[in-house]
Amino acid sequence: MSTTTETRRITTAKAMAEGIGLEMQRDPNVFVMGEDVGAYGGIFGSTTDLFGEFGADRVIDTPISETGFIGAGIGAAVEGLRPVVELMFVDFYGVCMDQISNHMAKIHYESGGNVKVPMVLMTATGGGYSDAAQHSQCLWGTFAHLPGMKVVVPSNPYDAKGLMISAIQDDNPVMYMFHKGGQGLVWMEKNPRSIGEVPEESYTVPIGKAAIAKEGSDVTIVTLSLSVQHSLDVAEELEAEGISVEVVDLRSLVPLDKETVLESVGKTGRVLVVDEDYKSFGLTGEIAAIIAETDPGLLKKPFSRLAVPDVPIPYARPMEYGILPTRDKIKAAVKDLMA
Amino acid sequence: MGELDRLAMYTQMVRIRQYESRIMQEYHADKSPAWDIGAGLIPGEMHLAAGQEPAAVGVCAHLKKGDAITAPHRPHHFALAHGVDMNKMTAEIYGRTGGLCKGKGGHMHLFDPENHFSCSGIIAQGLPVACGQALAFQRKGTDNVAIAVTGEGAANQGAFHESLNLAAVWDLPVIFVIEDNDWAISVPKDASTAGASNADRAAGYGMPGVRVEDNDVEAMYEAAGAAIDRARAGDGPSLIEIHTLRLFGHFEGDAQAYRPELATVNERDPIPKYAATLQELGELTDDQIASIQADADAEVDAAIEFAKASPEPAPEDALLHVFA
């Protein structure tokens, strides 16, 4: 029998659920609702084991009725509860965007700050497993574009738990956008970084503060979500080839931690933004604008970006991997910057 | 159900009518000679509820502290009947810092958390929010109810049907109130809606559905009382459709050329009709009619003065309140 305490390693999905569970223990106003969040535990594991611990009264399976139950989350939040609502795939935004954009995100502003909407809307994003055009999008740029909601995009188990706890405690509506491929699911190919060390106790990760996932001196990769995992893999490979890559994990898009981005870009003078969302009118252009508005002289090489090239996500594997920001494309883009 | 107070209901209807009539005057007062929707002391769209007073008054006579209302784009009658402060509401309509929302909302986005009153300018989309308020009341163990108001045109929205289903499947204390004023802007109900009565749709969700005819405030009072009692008792949602009357246009500036029955709207005005009923019952004198009107005039004039005296927001105030 061993007497040493091994560091506990869990999946991102389990870490999310643990964050929710700790908040449910702490605050009776917190409850969960969504499609298949109950006995199933969330299709992507975000509510694993919560049903067993808290029961059907606090982990509520809803009808397939996103306008109805997201609106109900808003109404409950307005009345002082703290709902954690799941939109199963972010791609389903089309059937409930009025509640999200016109209600969840605007009520505080429209009311002149008199009505708060302390609600978390968590949703699965991303492709890479041939789920095609209506089940593989990221769309975080769309939500970040619309004022009034915070947008959180965790890349690893530790942050997933701490950001979830911060999101539930936040008095604002928070879109919590997790990547299916980063959940550590047993039924989907996963990066080893989808399982990581996570303390058992409660802790927060501040919303609006980027992380330097890896320090480096030659090139900055600004990225988020599953692309952080890919970028770290690439950075480690390139280290052996003598290229020092700094990886900035944004962790949230709203608020966006411009200072950390600019500081890193100022240090390396070379930047690649990697985004699994659509290329045009999105995050990559936004980062370019921030650099240009601040000081174009920060860059020693022209700005570089890698994102989905403005096509819907295709089904067949060769085509899907042809347009996703894969490791080989990230690596090639970094090498181009160093050429 | 409480005791029917006819005089109080009449007084409330007169108060609302005076408000809508004066806002109409104020709205148009400085929009000539060239009528510009964005000009004047009250800019933007203006949807007035004159003629629809029975819907609000019949329902709100039963409400108590803590009960919620989500109103649509035409909200003034429900706001006033539910106790929203007339001064602050008017200042909001004038876009002033003393308004309910400090000038950020305007007449379609009135928020009064003290009275759990809110609006949505997107038709039927206030209904899911009302379901959530009802869910909160249910979870907190109170007997408060949520009133979800919408027009008959909104009853063809998905949000309407999703809300009815959700409320029914979770036994939520919601009362869906449909104001059927015959016109979805310019489209008549028979051209937009399958079935003559939206009350019949309630059966599809296993909840009671009642149709109130003739814009009758007392029939509305009875129907609402039964529905609210049922919700307070934990027996779930109900739906009431009242056949009401849009005395004015869809919005101010609407010439209503599409409306063949326009010539007879004043004959169908519910307020003189109710006054006549109360006079026949011996419950309303000519003197009372005059004094109720005078009180309403004075209250509304004071609210408009309050609004005009309230400062305008500074341009940079636009940057406040995005986040808490």
Residue of B129, B185, B133, B123 lying closest to B154 (CA atoms): B123
Q: Give the contacts of A15 (CB within 8 A, at least 6 positions apart).
A: A157, A158, A160, A161, A164, A196, A198
Residue A4 has pLDDT above 90, yes or no: no
> What does the H/E/C string look like for A236-283?
HHHHHCCCCEEEEECCEEECCCHHHHHHHHHHHCCEEEEEEEECCCCH
Average pLDDT over residues A120-146: 98
- Taking the C-alpha atoms of residue B179 and residue B53, their distance in angstroms, rounded to an integer, is 10
When pLDDT is averaged across residues A102-129 and rounded to a whole number, the result is 98
Statement: residue A1 has pLDDT above 70: no
Contact B125 A71 (CB under 8 A): yes
- Regions in chain B scoring below 70 on pLDDT: none
Partner A contacted by B279 (CB < 8 A): no
Chain B (11-70) residues lying within 8 Å, Cβ to Cβ, of chain A: 68, 70
CB spacing of B128 vs A69 below 8 angstroms? yes
Q: Check if A75 contacts B (Cβ < 8 Å).
A: yes
Contact between B111 and A172 using a beta-carbon 8 Å cutoff: no
Contacts of A69 in chain B (CB under 8 A): 128, 166
H or E segment and range at residue A174 = strand A174-179
- Best probe of the B interface among A24, A114, A119, A175, by most B CBs < 10 A, is A114
Token reading at A128: 């890479």
* B216: closest CA of chain A, how far (Å): 31
Structural domain includes residue B239: yes
Q: How does pLDDT run across B91-102, given as a tens digit for each residue?
A: 999 999 999 999
Put simply, the answer to whether A107 touches B165 (Cβ < 8 Å) is: no
Q: How far is B321 from chain A (nearest CA, A)?
A: 5
Contact call for B104 and A110, based on CB within 8 A: yes
Q: Is residue B324 part of a domain?
A: no
B165:A75 CB<8 A: no
Q: How many domains does chain B have?
A: 1
Q: Is residue B111 part of a domain?
A: yes
Interface of A with B in 85-124 (CB under 8 A): 95, 98-99, 102-103, 107-116, 118
CA distance A174 to B311: 33
- The whole-number pLDDT of residue B2 equals 79
Residue A7 pLDDT level (bands cut at 50, 70, 90) = confident
Whether B137 has its CB under 8 Å from any CB of chain A: the answer is yes
Mean pLDDT calculated for residue range A282-305: 98
> Does residue A178 contact residue A154 with C-beta atoms inside 8 Å?
yes
- Does A212 lie at the interface with B, CB-CB under 8 angstroms? no
Distance CA A222, CA A270 (A): 11
Rounded CA separation A212/A231 (Å)? 12
Query: With an 8 Å Cβ cutoff, are A75 and B103 in contact?
Result: no
Rounded alpha-carbon distances, angstroms, from residue A252 to A149, A160, A290? 11, 11, 16
Cβ neighbours of residue A98 under 8 Å, at least 6 residues apart?
A67, B122, B125, B159
Q: Where in chain A is the domain with CATH 3.40.50.920?
A: 211-338
How many other C-beta atoms lie within 10 A of the C-beta of residue A145?
15
Record: contact A63-B101, CB cut-off 8 A: no
Domain extent at residue B91: 6-311
- Whether B317 is covered by a domain: the verdict is no
Query: pLDDT tens digit string along A176-194?
Result: 999 999 999 999 988 999 9
Contact present, A119 and A126 (Cβ < 8 Å): no
Q: What is the DSSP letter of A23?
A: H
Can you spell out the DSSP letters for B24-83? HHHHHHTS-SS--TT-SSS-S-----TT-HHHHHHHHTT--TT-EEEE-SS-HHHHHHTT
ipTM: 0.96
The whole-number pLDDT of residue A2 equals 47
Q: Which long-range contacts (CB under 8 A, 24 or more apart) does A296-300 make?
A: A298/A262, A298/A265, A298/A266, A298/A269, A299/A265, A299/A269, A299/A270, A299/A271, A300/A269, A300/A270
Give the distance from residue B113's alpha carbon to the nearest chain A alpha carbon, in angstroms.
Answer: 6
pLDDT of residue A3 exceeding 90, the answer is: no
Distance from CA of A278 to the nearest CA of B (A): 26
A63 touches chain B (CB under 8 A): yes
| Tens digit of each residue's pLDDT (9 = 90 or more) over A210-233 | 999 999 999 999 999 999 999 999
Chain B contact present for A65, CB below 8 A: yes
Assign residue A97 a region (left: φ > 0; alpha: ψ between -120 and 50; beta: otherwise): alpha
**CATH code 3.40.50.970 region(s) in chain A:** 9-197
Give the residue-averaged pLDDT of A12-25. 98
CATH fold of A9-197 reads Rossmann fold (3.40.50)
* Closest CA relative to residue B106, chosen from A20, A233, A112: A112
Distance to chain A for B257, nearest Cα, Å: 32
**Is B322 part of any domain?**
no
Q: Mean pLDDT throughout A312-325? A: 98
| pLDDT above 50: residue A280 | yes
Q: Does B88 touch chain A (CB under 8 A)?
A: no
Which CATH number characterizes residue B160's domain?
3.40.50.970
Q: How many CB atoms lie within 10 A of CB A114?
A: 18
Contact A78 B133 (CB under 8 A): yes
- Please give the pLDDT value at position A6: 64
- Interface A:B, Cβ pairs < 8 A: 142
Which residue in chain B has the smallest CA separation from A104? B129
Q: Indicate which residues of A carry an active-site annotation.
A: 135
pLDDT band for A5, please (50, 70, 90 cuts): low
Distance from CA of A175 to the nearest CA of B (A): 14
Mean pLDDT of A66-82: 98
Selected residues 138-177 of chain B with any CB under 8 Å from a CB in chain A:
139-140, 146, 158-159, 162-163, 165-166, 169
For residue B174, the cross-strand partners are B146
- Cα of first residue to Cα of last residue in chain A, in angstroms, is 55
Pairing of strands B183-184, B187-188: antiparallel
CATH no., domain A211-338? 3.40.50.920
Rounded CA gap, B74 and B78, in Å? Answer: 9
Report yes or no on B48 lying in a domain. yes
At A65 the pLDDT is 98
- Contacts of residue A80 in chain B, CB cutoff 8 Å? 136
Share of chain A above pLDDT 90, in %: 97
From chain A, the residues in CB contact with B139 under 8 A are 31, 76, 81
